[in-house]
Structure 1
Amino acid sequence: MKHEYNKLVRDKIPDIIRESGRSCDYKILSDAEVLDALKDKLIEKANIFAERPSEDEISDIYELIDAIVEKFDYEPMHIDYLKLQNKESKGTYSGNTFLISADDGN
């Protein structure tokens, strides 16, 4: 029985499928196509983590973030700088702060 996936997978997945005695169809995405596929995959993995938190899912998310930084041609050191800037100006998520409401100023 053939299953349709139509999603970005790690590079070795087609080899793993073939080594198990099964067959698969895949293509190599263009640089333009992979940008949307990476965003979709990040949402998929975030949803999986939301349902079943695990270190394995976090490792996939880290791998995806690395690929996004590379494919979107972001500078890793600049990302670190922005992270530090946000930490200093807005704080971190370690304080467990949950905003319920805020006045709109009027």
Structure 2
Amino acid sequence: MKVEYNKLVRDKVPEIIRESGRACEYKILGQSEIRTALKDKLLEKAQVFMNSPSEDELSDIYELLETIVEAFDYEPLHIDYLKIQNKENKGSYSEKVFLISVDDGQ
């Protein structure tokens, strides 16, 4: 039975499938295609983590984020710099602040 996935997978997945005695069809994505596929994969992984938080799923998200940085030609050190700037300007999430509402006075 053929099952359609049409999603980005880790590099070794086709090899793992073949080693299990099954066949698979895949393609290598171009630059514009990979950016879309990476964004879709990030949403997929975030949903999986929401439904079943685990260190393994979080490690997948870390790996995915590193690949996104490369695919979008972002500079890792600049990302770190922006992270520090945002933390200084807006704080972090460590104090668990949950905003309920804002009254603009009107």
With structure 2 as the length reference, what TM-score do the two structures score?
A: 0.97
Q: Where does residue 54 of structure 2 map in the other structure?
A: 54
Find the aligned partners of 2:77 and 2:85 in 1 and give their Cα distance. 12
Q: Amino acid of the residue matched to residue 99 of structure 2?
A: L
Q: Is residue 29 from structure 1 mapped to residue 35 from structure 2 by the alignment?
A: no
Q: Any idea what SS the aligned residue of 1:33 has?
A: helix
Residue 9 of structure 2: aligned partner: 9
Instruction: For 1:94, give the aligned amino acid.
Output: S
How high is the sequence identity, in percent, across the aligned residues? 71
Moved over 3 A (4+): none
Change beyond 3 A, Cα 1:57–1:104: same
Q: CA RMSD in A?
A: 0.8
Amino acid at match of 1:31: Q
1:39 pairs with 2:39: yes
Structure 2 residues without counterparts, runs of 5 or longer: none
Aligned residue pairs total: 106
Q: Displacement, 1:105?
A: 5.0
Where in structure 1 are there 5+ consecutive unaligned residues?
A: none
